[in-house]
Structure 1
Amino acid sequence: MKIPLRAMLPALAAVILLGGCSNASEAGPATPSAAASPAQPGKPWNDELKNAEAGEKVGGTGSPCQLPVTFDVAKGWKPKPVDVGTGSGAGLDALAHQGGFTLKCEIDGKPAGFIGFLRIWAEDAPGKSPRQALEAFVAGDRNVTEKTYRDSGPLQGVEVTYLKDNKALEMVSRARALAVSTASGVVVLALGGLDEEEHQQMLPAYLTAKQSLVTN
Structure 2
Amino acid sequence: MPQRARPIRTAAVPAALVAAGLLLTACGAPATTPEPDAPARAGAPQKPAVPAAAATLGGPGSACALPVSFALAESWKPEAIENPEDPEFAALTRQGPATVRCEVDAKPSGNIGYLRVWTAPKGPARTALEGFVKAEKGSSAVSYRETRAGALPATEVTYTVRDTLTEETKEERAFAVSTPKGTVIVHLGGLDTDEHRAMLPAYELARTTTKAL
Q: Which among 3, 17, 24 is matched to residue 27 of structure 2?
A: 24
Question: Counterpart in 2 of 1:78?
Answer: 77
Contact 2:29 2:142 in 1 (8 A): no
TM-score (norm 1): 0.83
Match status 1:37 vs 2:37: yes
Q: Distance in 2 between matches of 1:56 and 1:19?
A: 26
Aligned to 1:49: 48
Task: Say which of 132, 137, 142 aligns to 1:142.
Answer: 137
Shift of 1:37: 2.2
- Which runs of 5 or more structure 1 residues have no equivalent in the other structure? 1-9
The answer (yes or no) to whether the contact 1:87–1:95 under 8 Å persists in 2 is no
> How far off its partner does 1:36 sit?
3.3
C-alpha spacing 1:214/1:12, structure 2 compared with 1 (3 Å): closer
Letter of the 1:108 counterpart: D
Whether 2:182 is the aligned partner of 1:152: answer: no
Name the stretch that deviates more: 153-162 or 14-23: 14-23
SS of the equivalent of 1:208 reads: helix
With the length of structure 2 as denominator, give the TM-score of the two structures.
Answer: 0.84
Instruction: Give the deviation of 1:11 after TM superposition.
Output: 10
- Residue 172 of structure 1 and its aligned partner are, at CA, apart by 1.4
Q: Provide the rounded CA distance (Å) in 2 between the counterparts of 1:57 and 1:197.
A: 26
Among 161, 168, 171, which residue is 2:168 paired with? Answer: 171
Contact 2:31 2:141 in 1 (8 A): no
RMSD (CA atoms): 2.6
Match of 1:210 among 193, 207, 211: 207
Counterpart secondary structure, 1:205: helix
Change (3 A) 1:82 1:49: same
What is the aligned length?
199
1:114 to 1:16, Cα distance in 2 relative to 1, 3 A: same
- On the 8 A contact 2:24/2:137 being kept in 1, the answer is yes
Do residues 63 (structure 1) and 62 (structure 2) align? Answer: yes
Distance 1:84 1:25, change over 3 A: farther
Q: Do the aligned residues in 2 keep the contact of 1:84 with 1:96 (CA within 8 Å)?
A: no
For 2:159, give the aligned amino acid: Y
User: C-alpha distance in 1, partners of 2:42/2:155?
Assistant: 19
**CA distance, structure 2, for counterparts of residue 42 and residue 141 of structure 1:** 32
Evaluate the alpha carbon distance shift between residue 185 and residue 48 of structure 1 in structure 2; reply closer, same or farther with a 3 A threshold: same
Residues 86 and 94, structure 1, Cα contact 8 Å, conserved in 2? no
Cα drift, residue 39 of structure 1: 4.3
Looking at structure 1, the residues matched to 145 and 139 of structure 2 have their Cα atoms a distance apart, in angstroms, of 17
2:143 alignment partner, SS class: strand
Offset at residue 86 of structure 1 (A): 3.2
What's the CA shift for 1:13?
Answer: 1.2
SS in 2 for 1:111: helix
Runs of 4+ more than 4 Å apart: 39-43
Q: Deviations over 1:71-120 (max 9, x none)?
A: 1000110011112343533xx55311101111011100000001000010
| SS of residue matched to 1:210 | helix
